[in-house]
A and B are shown apart, each in its own frame.
Chain A
Amino acid sequence: MKTLNRRDFGVDFGLTLAAAILLPITTARADDTNMEVHIDNFVFQPPELTIKVGTTVTWTNRDDIPHTVVSAGKFRSKTLDTDDKFSFTFTNAGDYKYFCSLHPHMTGMIKVE
């Protein structure tokens, strides 16, 4: 599943429009095996995501500052610069809390059913 980055629109004018168009596309379907989380303004969006076992989640950093995605003992991304992505496939059910090791007040959760 490819979502449109607001950078694809270049400037502000596209943002509202993009959001309106994207909403139905990004809504999770039951058979989705790929899900996306964006980092914007030091926030994981969505902060909590419920997925099925076998789903791959891809994080994209859309800030001008690098971030990481770390779940202790489970997964750890490299440092993500602007527009860098990190993917992880969840093969076991459970709650995966994660955070940014550079800005640990940034937290998120993946619930795998």
Chain B
Amino acid sequence: MSGHHHGEDGVSRRKVLECMTWAGTGVLWTITGGVPRSLGIIDSAEAATAAAAGMTFLQISDSHVGFDKPANPNALGTLEEAINKINAMPVKPSFMIHTGDITHLSKAAEFDNADRIISQSKLDVHYVPGEHDFLDEEVKFYRERYGRGTKGAGWYSFDAGGVHFVGLVNVVDLKGGGLGNLGAEQLAWLEDDLRGKSKSTPVVLFAHIPLWTVYPEWGWGTEDGGRALEYVKGFGSVTVLNGHIHQVMQKVEGNVTFHTARSTAFPQPAPGTAASPGPMKVEDAKLRTMLGVASINFKQNEQRLAIIDTPLQG
């Protein structure tokens, strides 16, 4: 979608500057006793309480560093705004995950800029790539920076706070139909990675494109995502986190909770409500309400995952 939405009455310099000040943050999650619970924001009293009771981690997504079109002429600025919000949190999360599209065009300078801003959080960050991070000819920038110790195109797992985290890559080798793709090698690795894990171990899967079918007409789903979900079927608590669609979407299916985080860069339309999934230009006053962060809290003895997302401005 091009910038022609700006066209009706033109865009004043002041309005452009306003555009540049809004930002998204992430999702703060807290883990208590194995069940992830997302908290809204970052400066809420609830976040502090939840964090006191368990481990918290943050999710941010879709920073699109390098994007400079009218939907947000300064994606780096809004990322920095998000990181500033994170730094102002009353309780420091244990770590952060980034669910991809760190950059817009996979340029070295874009990765440098993203690193410079995100590292200001002083948090460990676990990344998975989005399709925008694999655009360099040799597909090496992402892997050189974030791929150490990972398998294949960048998948890996780790344990934290009694929870098993698995970062998956579904942006490689996309096939006709337009959906994300995990591939046989990664699925075999995942099955093996989960084998022998106690079924009471909480599992968090995270990937860029939704593992569940959100809207196949726009490629919002993963062709073989169902295979991955089969492997986690027997587990008591499964949380699936993703980015890619730049809006909050959530569903609970049995023991599996699916959750999509906002972008820190620009919103995208709800499924089917526009000619394409391209960047959505909204009224400047509304923009900050469409970007945000998420927090996650794993709570002891609570089987239900409650997710509260917090926009930058609400």
Chain A residues with CB under 8 Å of chain B are: 6-7, 10-13, 15, 40-43, 62-66, 78-79, 81-82, 99, 101-107
Other-chain residue from B8, B71, B131, B174 in contact with A12 (beta carbon distance below 8 A): B8
- Say yes or no: A82-B137 contact (C-beta < 8 A), given A62-B2, A65-B279, A104-B176: no
User: 5 shortest A-B CB distances, which residue pairs?
Assistant: A105-B178, A11-B7, A12-B7, A41-B276, A42-B276
Contact between chains at A63 and B278 (CB < 8 Å): yes
Contact between chains at A7 and B219 (CB < 8 Å): no
Other-chain residue from B69, B137, B174 in contact with A101 (beta carbon distance below 8 A): B174
B197-221 interface code vs A (CB 8 A; 1 in, 0 out):
0000000000000000000011100
Q: Which of B167-214 contact A (CB under 8 A)?
A: 174-179
| Cα–Cα distance between A68 and B253 once the two chains are bound (Å) | 36
Contact between chains at A43 and B178 (CB < 8 Å): no
Most chain B C-beta atoms within 10 Å of own C-beta, residue among A11, A12, A40: A11
Contact between chains at B69 and A64 (CB < 8 Å): yes
Q: Which residues of A contact B272 (CB under 8 A)?
A: none
Q: Which residues of A contact B1 (CB under 8 A)?
A: 41, 63-64
| Cα–Cα distance between A42 and B1 once the two chains are bound (Å) | 8
What's the tally of chain B residues with a CB closer than 8 Å to chain A?
Answer: 33
| Cα–Cα distance between A78 and B136 once the two chains are bound (Å) | 9
A-B contact pairs, 30 of them (CB 8 A): A6-B2, A6-B4, A10-B7, A11-B4, A11-B6, A12-B8, A13-B7, A15-B4, A42-B218, A42-B278, A43-B276, A62-B2, A63-B2, A63-B276, A64-B1, A64-B67, A64-B70, A64-B278, A65-B278, A66-B105, A66-B135, A79-B105, A79-B106, A79-B135, A102-B135, A103-B219, A104-B176, A104-B179, A104-B219, A105-B217
From B274, which residue of chain A is reached at the shortest CB distance? A41
In the complex, what's the smallest C-beta–C-beta distance from B284 to chain A, in angstroms?
17
- Say yes or no: A104-B2 contact (C-beta < 8 A), given A12-B8, A64-B279: no
A-B contact count (CB 8 A): 74
Other-chain residue from B70, B137, B174 in contact with A102 (beta carbon distance below 8 A): B174
Q: Which residues of A contact B135 (CB under 8 A)?
A: 66, 79, 102
From A107, which residue of chain B is reached at the shortest CB distance? B176
Q: Which residues of A contact B45 (CB under 8 A)?
A: none
Q: Which residues of A contact B277 (CB under 8 A)?
A: 42
